[in-house]
């Protein structure tokens, strides 16, 4: 399997330093400047916002991992940036605006904001084979008329560009139709796995177009087979999806859950080793559509609770991305006994994401997987089982008794 080209652009070690003279004409500015933020932009990618702490010591510098912001660049993003009229290839401007504002609920800032300064930093987007440190240190902020004052505000930042190759997999049909799973590399599609969905026939037939449906969804499982037909991973519904008392939905107080498993090499063909536990439930929101909440714990030998590595909410209408990204969620404690597929490099970086459709749409999950977490085909298979469980959770969290749109999830109605 050959991975696709991706880059990880990280901006961290952020800090703001102000000259004492700069505060003379600003009564009360010192406590205000302790609540500073910045917007970070590169090309047409979504703007990222983060806090910028004030550094009072003239020789001080922030921690390298503080307020880390990460952009993930696909090869197409790099090409777009380098041919854009705004940038001269092979450079791209990293633009940062630093401002003062009150902390609040809207992206961290409410009310009016006062711009402290801005900067533009050229970054190379060549295909570096090794991690490259693009900038590390203090740089003056532009203020009025684009000038950089010798005694003006300074921003400390550390900018790093790392190759971050990924495998890209696609379910060729709905999960419930037992589709083939292919690896995508440009326009080339290579079959890698097959996915077999099984519904426990000992439970009552599930017809989500019927108002007489039983008040539980249980017995679902997904088996991931390699090209030889061997089962290399699975997802079993461990806790039924049932409505909570007084409502028609799976609530946070009693979530449904999946066990993600792989065959036990030391056991028989029917022996399974737990890898992770995925919980899912439905949350009401003030909007027309609710959200599906998904929480993944990685399990290791001797640990029942596991390690929380992902806590995601997505739209029931549009679907979204389930993601494991240690830059966004750093779990507490160590990682004893975890295999390569169990995230040995849990201390940082992107691991996996899975795009799924909303509950009323036919979904064909698209999975990106960091190449460094795949030492063999079986490692990738575990994440395919997880992706299938994520996709099925969206369907399993549908309100009970609600009629589905015509033609929706026909595979459940057999």
320-366 pLDDT tens trace: 999 999 876 544 444 434 444 444 444 468 999 999 999 888 899 99
Instruction: Tell me whether strands 69-74 and 91-103 are parallel, antiparallel or unpaired.
Output: unpaired
- Is residue 25 exposed (0-12), middle (13-18) or buried (19+ Cβ within 10 Å)? exposed
The pLDDT value recorded for residue 228 is: 94
Sign of CA dihedral 77, 80, 83, 87: negative
Give me Rg for the CA atoms of the chain: 24
Contact 411, 395 (CB under 8 A): no
**C-alpha separations of 194 from 184, 222, 232 in Å:** 15, 10, 10
Task: Residue 56: count other Cβ atoms within 10 Å of its Cβ.
Answer: 11
Residue 3 pLDDT class (50, 70, 90 cuts): very high
The pLDDT value recorded for residue 32 is: 47
pLDDT of residue 147 exceeding 70, the answer is no
Residue-range domain boundaries for the chain? 8-160, 166-413
CATH architecture assigned to 8-160: Sandwich (2.60)
Percent above pLDDT 90 for the chain? 42
Entry pTM: 0.81
Query: CA–CA separation, 217 vs 176, rounded Å?
Result: 14
Question: What is the rounded average pLDDT of the residues 114-126?
Answer: 82
pLDDT of residue 272 exceeding 50, the answer is yes
Question: What is the rounded average pLDDT of the residues 263-288?
Answer: 79
**Of 371 and 147, the one with more pLDDT:** 371
The pLDDT value recorded for residue 379 is: 92
The strand pairing partners of 53, in sequence order, are none
Q: 108: alpha, beta or left, given left = phi > 0 and alpha = psi -120 to 50? A: left
Sign of CA dihedral 404, 408, 412, 414: positive
- Condensed to tens digits (0 to 9), the pLDDT of residues 193-211 reads 999 999 875 544 444 434 4
Residue 81 C-beta-side C-alpha neighbours within 13 Å: 22
**C-alpha separations of 393 from 67, 139, 280 in Å:** 32, 48, 6
Residue 27 pLDDT class (50, 70, 90 cuts): very low
Cα–Cα nearest to 240, from 222, 263, 259: 259
Query: CA–CA separation, 100 vs 117, rounded Å?
Result: 10
Record the tokens describing residue 346, joined without a space.
């849990």
**Of 68 and 305, the one with more pLDDT:** 68
């Amino acid at each position: 399997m050959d991975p696709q080209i991706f880059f990880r652009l990280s901006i961290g070690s952020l800090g703001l330093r102000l000259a004492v003279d700069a505060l003379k004409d600003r009564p009360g500015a010192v406590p205000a400047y302790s609540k500073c933020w910045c917007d970070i932009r590169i090309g047409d990618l979504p703007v990222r916002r983060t806090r910028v702490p004030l550094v009072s010591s003239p020789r001080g510098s922030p921690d390298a991992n503080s307020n880390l912001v990460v952009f993930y660049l696909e090869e197409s993003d790099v090409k777009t940036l380098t041919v854009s009229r705004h940038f001269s290839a092979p450079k791209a401007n990293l633009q940062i605006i630093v401002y003062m504002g009150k902390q609040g609920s809207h992206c961290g800032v409410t009310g009016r904001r006062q711009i402290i300064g801005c900067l533009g930093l050229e970054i190379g987007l060549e295909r570096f084979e090794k991690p490259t440190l693009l900038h590390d240190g203090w740089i003056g902020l532009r203020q009025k008329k684009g000038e950089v004052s010798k005694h003006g505000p300074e921003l400390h930042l550390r900018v790093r560009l790392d190759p971050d190759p990924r495998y890209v997999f696609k379910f060729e049909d709905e999960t419930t139709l037992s589709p083939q799973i292919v690896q995508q590399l440009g326009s080339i599609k290579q079959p890698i796995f097959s996915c077999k969905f099984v519904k426990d026939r000992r439970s009552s037939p599930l017809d989500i177009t019927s108002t007489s449906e039983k008040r539980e969804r249980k017995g679902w499982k997904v088996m991931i087979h390699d090209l030889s037909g061997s089962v290399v991973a699975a997802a079993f519904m461990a806790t039924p999806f049932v409505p909570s008392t007084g409502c028609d939905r799976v609530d946070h107080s009693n979530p449904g859950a999946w066990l993600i498993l792989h065959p036990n090499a030391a056991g028989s063909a029917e022996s399974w080793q737990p890898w992770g536990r995925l919980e899912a439930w439905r949350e009401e929101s003030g909007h027309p559509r609710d959200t599906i909440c998904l929480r993944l714990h990685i399990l290791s030998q001797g640990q029942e609770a596991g390690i929380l590595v992902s806590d995601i909410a997505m739209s029931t209408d549009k679907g979204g991305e389930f993601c494991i990204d240690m830059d966004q969620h750093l779990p507490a404690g160590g990682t004893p006994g975890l295999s390569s597929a169990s995230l040995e490099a849990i201390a940082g970086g992107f691991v996996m994401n899975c795009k799924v459709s909303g509950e009323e749409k036919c979904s064909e999950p698209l999975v990106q997987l960091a190449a460094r977490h795949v030492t063999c085909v079986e490692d990738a298979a575990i994440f395919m089982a997880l992706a299938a469980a994520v996709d099925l959770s969206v369907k399993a969290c549908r309100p009970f008794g609600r009629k589905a749109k015509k033609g929706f999830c026909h595979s459940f109605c057999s």
